[in-house]
Amino acid sequence: KRKKTWKKKNEYCGHISLRFIAVLGLLWMFSQLSQLKIGKSAAYILRYQWLDYANDDESPEKVCNCSAILQGEKEALQQAKLLTISKDFQKSIQIPDEYYIDATQDCRKFQINRKYITFPLSKEEEDFPLAYSMVVHHKVQNFERLLRAIYAPQNIYCVHVDKKAPASVFAAIKAITSCFPNVFMVSEAVNVVYAGWTRVQADLNCMADLYNTSTTWKYFINLCGQDFPLKTNLEIVQALRSLKGGNSLESEEMPQGKKGRVTNRTGKTKDPAPFNLPILSGNAYIVVNRGYIRSVLEDEQIQALIEWAKDTYSPDEFLWATIQRMPGVPGSTWPNRKFDVTDMNAIARLVKWHWHEGSEGSLQAVYPECKGHHVRSICVYGAGDLQWLIEQHHLFANKFDADRDPIAVYCLEKYLRHKALTE
Ligand SMILES: *[C@@H]1O[C@H](CO)[C@@H](O)[C@H](O)[C@H]1NC(C)=O
Ligand SMILES: *[C@@H]1O[C@H](CO)[C@@H](O)[C@H](O)[C@H]1NC(C)=O
Ligand SMILES: *[C@@H]1O[C@H](CO)[C@@H](O)[C@H](O)[C@H]1NC(C)=O
């Protein structure tokens, strides 16, 4: 029967063109089959393997078994802990600031050696650029590894280095940023004071630069140097798209203990907020759309709120949360308490506070105990925290310290890179 059809066709077409079509058809079928059969993993090996963080990369942490660590296996975690406290290892992981100035002399080489991803990994990511504000004051190694983990050529990154940071930190970070056209230093740096207004001002300056530099980005995310992502860029894009224009940040009723912060200033009572705006409680880290940033930069009510907030204690802990509940701000919700969002429900940032740690089933506990160590009551994650961390919905977690607990960063970056390349 088949022969017959061939023959029949032969009557319409010449021999040569028929053969040509048959060959084309075969080629097409072959390409379809090979796509089905080889599947994603082989395609990944062919295209992207050189970007994976391999075990033979120069790295003192390479003796760790990260897949066992990510599964929470006790033996692997014990080994990681022993390695971390050994003197030789501690010495081997220190990277002086000058290293980055040398390494970035040849930017192409730096990008290749450090395996930066310099092309969009998918159309979906390319069509959904992000804007990052990164506020840094020390630990250049943390910053560089964070940048590498979130870097994508379609995104833009504003870096604010504290005005009082050591000259070597500033020079190293400036050298790194100069290797990427879409990473820049903030146009105006400030002296960031803990719990003071300048922490907000640093982000505001980056917001203005980011807003002014590019009109295409969809969402804004602010980071500090000791954050690290828990998701790949594609997962971040997908999580943001599913917000459908909404913002995601902590914004809830002000706890009694913090109310004095906005009613008192140096013992004197402070006027209520302008327009009697209800002041809500939150934190410094936000995930907001472009319209929210436009409002922050241009809306007159928000300008008045900003002026009012400048002499309060830790304004970062209420300003963004309050703006998120103002009518007319893109992606905001109504101020009614039913729309309150806690830090655990928002996707912006995961932070483990000492006093909320405990065991599952306890009414006080919010998360399992910190496996690293604490700095100012905040958990600096250890390798033992990773298994729990990667199950959370947050896009970023705070804090990591590549000098103290390098295995946590090492295994997390390896896990994310492999996932990004096989997605
Ligand atoms: C690392 O741990 C995984 C999971 O337990 C195990 O399957 C694998 O064999 C280990 N690899 C090495 C090199 O020990
Ligand atoms: C944006 O950048 C231009 C050129 O540098 C500058 O003139 C303008 O004032 C900036 N606008 C804002 C809002 O920063
Ligand atoms: C604020 O100041 C008032 C008047 O000085 C005082 O009664 C009140 O206790 C203060 N509240 C806080 C939280 O400091």
For residue 373, what are the CA distances in angstroms to 94, 142, 365, 379? Answer: 19, 17, 18, 6
In this structure, the dihedral spanned by the alpha carbons of residues 162, 164, 170 and 171, taken in order and rounded to 10 degrees, is 160
Atom of ligand 2 nearest to the CA of 208: 14
DSSP string spanning 103-148?
Answer: HTSSHHHHHHHTT---S-S-HHHHTS-EEEEEEE-S-HHHHHHHHH
pLDDT at 276: 92
Q: Is 267 in the pocket of ligand 3 (CB under 6 A)?
A: yes
User: What's the longest Cα–Cα distance across the chain?
Assistant: 100
Q: Which of 12-16, 263-267, 399-403 has the lowest mean pLDDT?
A: 12-16
pLDDT at 12: 44
Confidence of residue 59 (pLDDT cuts 50, 70, 90): confident
For residue 258, what are the CA distances in angstroms to 153, 263, 264, 277, 313? Answer: 41, 10, 10, 17, 10
CA distance 203 to 183: 15
Q: Which of 19-33, 189-203, 392-406 has the lowest mean pLDDT?
A: 19-33
Q: Which sequence spans correspond to the domains of the chain?
A: 2-51, 64-94+347-423
Q: Is 257 in the pocket of ligand 3 (CB under 6 A)?
A: no
Residue nearest to atom 7 of ligand 1 (CA): 68
Q: Is 62 in the pocket of ligand 1 (CB under 6 A)?
A: no
CA distance 394 to 346: 7
The CA 336 to ligand 3 mean position distance, Å, reads 26
CA distance 49 to 52: 5
The CA 221 to ligand 2 mean position distance, Å, reads 21
Measured CA angle at 399 (ends 396, 405), to 5 deg: 120
323-373 pLDDT per residue, tens:
999 999 999 999 999 999 999 999 999 999 999 999 998 999 999 999 999
Q: To which residue do tokens 């999580």 refer?
A: 239
Start-to-end Cα distance in the chain: 44
Residue nearest to atom 9 of ligand 2 (CA): 212
CA distance 384 to 395: 19
